[in-house]
Chains A and B, each alone.
Chain A
Amino acid sequence: MTVFRPRHLDEALAELAAAPTALIAGGTDVFPALGVRQAPARVMDLTAIDELRGVSRTGAGWRIGAGATWTDIVGADLPPLFDALKQAARQVGSVQIQNTGTVAGNICNASPAADGVPVLVAMEAEVELASAAGTRRMPLGRFITGPRRTELRAGEIVTALYLPDRDGAVSRFEKLGSRAYLVISIVSVAVILWTEGRIVTGARVAVGAASPVPMRLPEAEAALKGRALSDLSGAVLPHHLAALTPIDDVRATGGYRREAALALIRRALTELGGTA
């Protein structure tokens, strides 16, 4: 049984190419899933790799290194476009989880209820993947293919998320759970708006925990475009959420999730309309 802890990306990719290897960063999803079973024989701890660190400005937007934790997001100096991501970051599990859990880990775990994913989907994040064979990028919405399923191939790791800039955009994340902390979302919502004057010129709306993969609602986004900021709460209607496929589980009924998603979208819009 071996744990590799490479310092550099090229070392990491070379080891990954050699034999199937399980990946771990903060461990906040890996260990709970493992339970009392024995760990895989080859594991790579990604947290020491220099190239995966940090949150930074790129030419066309922003880069979140795969090693960035939720606490790194909270502490980073970022524009209001990132407010939703920061709000989600503060509500992922607990401070303990936020200190080790990574944004990239949240997408690789591919939980339908992942708090980071609806925000990143709304932000139109692209995922950068690297292997010994090279690097590729794809939209987050395509990277996650289903509950606990992603496009990540053997020998490949997520190295970063890329987020396009939206000048002047504002954003909001709303999470609903049955208790105050350490709670898996019943439903979660991310909304991004950009405006000219007091008129919405573009919107992104995404919902988590109401479909196998958190998803955007293009009809809701279209309904918001051209509206005045002061007149948003009634813009999104139940049929705009038709694409959601929420399930009944121990946390809530599917029907409730659908209603709550709408209520949270409206709440987020009211908040943004009032502050933008």
Chain B
Amino acid sequence: MTKIAFTLNGRPAEAGAAGLERLATVLRRDLGCHDVKIGCDAGDCGACTVLLGGAPVCACITPATLAEGQAVETLTGLHATDPLVAQLTKAFERHGAAQCGICTPGMLVSAAALLRANPAPDEPQVRDALGGVLCRCTGYRKIIDAVIDWRGAEAPQDGRVGGAVARVDGARKVEGREVFGDDAPPADALVLRVIRSPHHLARFGFGDLDAYAKAEGLDLILTAADVPGLNAFGVIPAFVDQPVYAEGTARFRGEAVAAVIGPAARMTALDLSAFPVSWHPEPEALTPEAARAAGQMHEGRAENVMCRGFVKKGEAEEAIASAFVTAEGSFQTGFIEHAYIEPEAGFARWENGRVEIIGGTQAPQMNRDSLALILNLPQEAIRILPTAVGGGFGSKLDLSWQPHVALAAMRLKRPVRVVYSRSDSMSSTTKRHPAQMRVRAGATKEGRLSGFAFDGAFNTGAYASWGPTVANRVPVHASGPYAHADYVARTEAVHTNCVPAGAFRGFGVPQAAIAQECVFDDLCLALGMDRLEFRLLNALDNGIPTATGQVFDGAVGIKPCLEALKPAWEEAVKAAEAFNAQGGTLRKGVGVACGWYGCGNTSLPNPSTIRAGITGDGRIVLHQGAMDIGQGANTVIAQIFAEALGVPLEKVELIGPDTDVTPDAGKTSASRQTFVSGNAARLTGLALRAEVLRLTNCADGVIGFEGGLTVTAPDGIRHHVPLAEGMDYAIEAAETYDPPTLPLDKNGQGVPYAVYGYTAQMAELTVDTTLGTVVLTRIHAAHDVGRAINPMLVEGQIHGGVAQGIGLALMEEYIPGRTDNLHDYLIPTIGDVPPITSLIVEVTDPHGPYGAKGLGEHVLIPTAPAILSAIRHATGARITRVPATPDRVLAAIRAAKEA
């Protein structure tokens, strides 16, 4: 044990390092600094940034011994002791610079070091100082704004619907108090590690597990034999096919085959390479083509095709055949990793015959139902207590860490914790589906669409996860928000020996948009037509049936989005063409693309229930079950509820999505929370308001809080609301909303969603034609959100989605077994996201709460195709495979020149 004495946040501290240890480990484990977040343990993400002698370092790769005699400062200490940092945290709240909050400590600590040296930095200086901290939620722009404006004045807060109020849970995120999955495990918790397959496909057998457990001092080893219930999980009832622990054959690299559980100190020292398992690798199939010819992986799924999707309207082939111009193309996208900065983490404990699971999730009730089957326990015997979630984007809908610790805690009757390493997280949790797509389309002489055909094969990996959703959503959305008389879309999801592909912001639609929008640009070139005008001419509108035959009356907002872009479009196209006319190796380009997205489950029920109560002493409590994974549901749902009830937002106390006390508000996915749970919150607010008015015999009135809950009637008389003491709530309401949809018929015709949101985005960029590098200048993002419940959070979603779209377009590709870290798998840094102009369009929806539509997934759909369109405008390069890395762009520029 090496003793290390240093100053921690201004106070003397002493720690003992057991041999070579990371400073982050010592700070978190021994000194309670849970504000130091671990995202990668490799210096790749910067979440663990602390000041060492005043200079920012990654505590995860700094030897603890370096702290000897030095001053170490973490966010909580800086916030408490340095007025500059206290002001800076306020600016972060004011600007909405923290979303999930997991990178926030790293951002704030890095910014503090900058501002101490330079209180008036410009944007390049901020980027240089914060370039070492990755954020997956915010798109960085609001972080830059907050750092530059750190001394700015506090804005008045407006918590009503339409008010850009700071998020209600913001203070604890910016002050380092937020509790994520690995931040509050019981001191006596055992530690679990998962044994994973190192092969894409392998049979395996165990040696003497008992002897290994005994020799290593383990408390337990779990394998498939230890699962008391169903050794399978999944998110769609007909496709529950993924084992908690593989049985005999592991079908992807990273698949769990066993778990080892023991005391923390033993687990740190444990040499997993000695774990008694023998592997017998077999030839793997990593692509849909290979898999169609390979051995069948799942019963009933011939040629490894898991499922197909189909939408047909009119006669696409005939229309294409008779079109004035036609175009076609084949497109390819790779696996995309969610790359939330918080790896999966949590713990389980056994309490009075029940299992409690505490950690991050996007879908507490689904987790509970699935765990009940695995553990062979009634649902009531399982409690999910979600912590804050350090980013999800779809992957944390599925079970991952939970069954392991739940099984262990149930067996050992002791708390058991787990934290995934970055490589555990990347190798075993779901990804965006790789797509191979072919699109053919035609247009009339006037530029109207004349036939559109989409064929897509999606690599769904070894298990189903949300693959069926992708296969079903894509044919519905591959039309884009356009008017097609003749349309056909066919998809299939194919099993391979890859990590399962599942839900990722957009469920396959961003991939389809890349193909569809590029072929639209082909048509524009063939017609000599302006790309924005073509899209305006063909835009979907009220009264025109969608590809599934659904007709809207008033809620279609794509044309207003395109019109919002038009002034900037005309100016930018002109400027780019003038620039390019000068010659030179740098070329400027402008691109445009559209997107739409149906909010909620596709033609399936997906109700949300929101519960609220008023206590005997007049406090208003909202059971907010819509998981806030950074997007802002805690704030938006509370704003809607407060508006409906008629009270100020700050009077609403929140209780989170604890499955014991908060009803099911459904999963945080499908851009459904503002729309579906928002409606439930509105109904609950209205119900509670009706009860308050009834108790005071008022037909209407203003709710007040002077000396207890009151209602001031229109005649000015103030009534005290009589509230019974003694119960949890004197008045309580719980209302449910389920969006009206209709099934799709065999041709995919029907009403899959009650509400769609619409978007058009425009990218401006410069291409270096010598190197094939792309520098983005600006993204303009027009979004029809129906009604912006909170414009600041709307912008936050736009920025974050655009950043992910930039990654999809230019740098991200996950390759199983080769990019299981955040230095080989690249996501955009603060220097890769240009200024974003958000154009909020409000075409109110009759179904939406106060007219609101969903937004979470729409934001990234047009970004990549708009960027690719701009690269083509700049250089002629037609990119058909993303990411458009410099080598691919250069090759495409060459190909365009030769053509």
Q: A residues touching B (Cβ–Cβ < 8 Å)? A: 1-3, 5, 22, 24, 26-28, 30-32, 35-41, 43, 45, 47-48, 71, 90, 93-97, 99-100, 176, 178-184, 186, 250-253, 255-256, 259-260, 263-264
Contacts and interface: CB of A to CB of B under 8 A. Distances in A.
B58 interface: yes
Given A100-B57, A259-B890, A178 B20 contact: no
Contacts of A5: 2, 65, 68
A167 B323 CA distance: 71
A178 B806 CA distance: 12
B19 A93 contact: no
Contact of A250 (B18, B68, B824): B824
B272 to A, nearest CB: 8
B57 to A, nearest CB: 5
Nearest to B128: A95
A179 B812 CA distance: 10
B832 A180 contact: yes
Interface of B: 2, 17-22, 41-44, 46, 49, 52, 55-58, 60-63, 65-66, 68, 110, 113, 127-129, 131-134, 193, 268-271, 421, 423, 770-773, 810-811, 813, 815, 818-819, 821, 823-824, 826, 828-832, 883, 885-887, 890-891
B739 to A, nearest CB: 39
Nearest to B109: A96
A182 B131 contact: yes
A35 B65 CA distance: 18
A213 B810 CA distance: 28
Contact of A38 (B131, B268, B890): B268
Nearest to B424: A36
Given A1-B18, A41-B19, A179 B829 contact: yes
Contact of A99 (B57, B133, B270, B770): B57
Contact of A94 (B131, B810, B824): B131
Contacts of B113: 95
Given A24-B63, A31-B61, A182-B829, A97 B132 contact: yes
Given A31-B61, A41-B19, A95-B110, A176 B773 contact: yes
A252 B885 contact: yes
A47 B53 CA distance: 14
A144 B370 CA distance: 54
B43 A181 contact: no
Contact of B41 (A32, A40, A259): A32
B893 to A, nearest CB: 12
Nearest to A31: B61
A178 B810 contact: yes
Given A5-B65, A27-B62, A96 B423 contact: no
Contacts of B773: 176
Contact of B42 (A32, A45, A250): A32
B886 A260 contact: yes
A30 B22 CA distance: 11
Given A99-B52, A178-B810, A252-B886, A183 B826 contact: yes
Contact of B831 (A31, A37, A181): A181
A93 B821 CA distance: 15
B20 A181 contact: no
A90 B128 CA distance: 9
A178 B43 contact: no
A3 B2 CA distance: 7
Contact of A181 (B18, B62, B132): B132
Nearest to B814: A250
9 contacts: A2-B2, A28-B43, A36-B421, A41-B19, A96-B49, A179-B826, A179-B829, A182-B134, A259-B890
Given A43-B20, A94-B133, A99-B52, 8 more contacts: A31-B42, A32-B61, A35-B423, A45-B66, A96-B46, A100-B61, A182-B132, A183-B829
A95 B890 CA distance: 31
Contacts of B831: 179-181
A44 B805 CA distance: 45
B423 A181 contact: no
Contacts of B42: 31-32, 35
Contacts of B20: 1, 3, 22, 24, 39-40, 43
A196 B828 CA distance: 44
B824 A181 contact: no
A176 B886 contact: yes
Nearest to B66: A47
Top 7 closest pairs, chain A to chain B, by CB: A94-B132, A180-B831, A1-B19, A181-B131, A256-B887, A39-B20, A32-B42
Given A35-B423, A180-B830, A27 B887 contact: no
Nearest to B44: A182
Nearest to B775: A180
Nearest to A69: B55
A252 B21 CA distance: 35
Contacts of B68: 5, 48
A31 B22 contact: yes
A2 B890 CA distance: 51
Contacts of A95: 56, 110, 113, 128-129, 131-132
B823 to A, nearest CB: 6
B826 A178 contact: yes
Contacts of A90: 128
B511 to A, nearest CB: 20
A172 to B, nearest CB: 16
Nearest to B818: A250
Contact of A3 (B22, B65, B890): B65
Contacts of A259: 890
A27 B810 CA distance: 31
B63 A3 contact: yes
Nearest to A259: B890
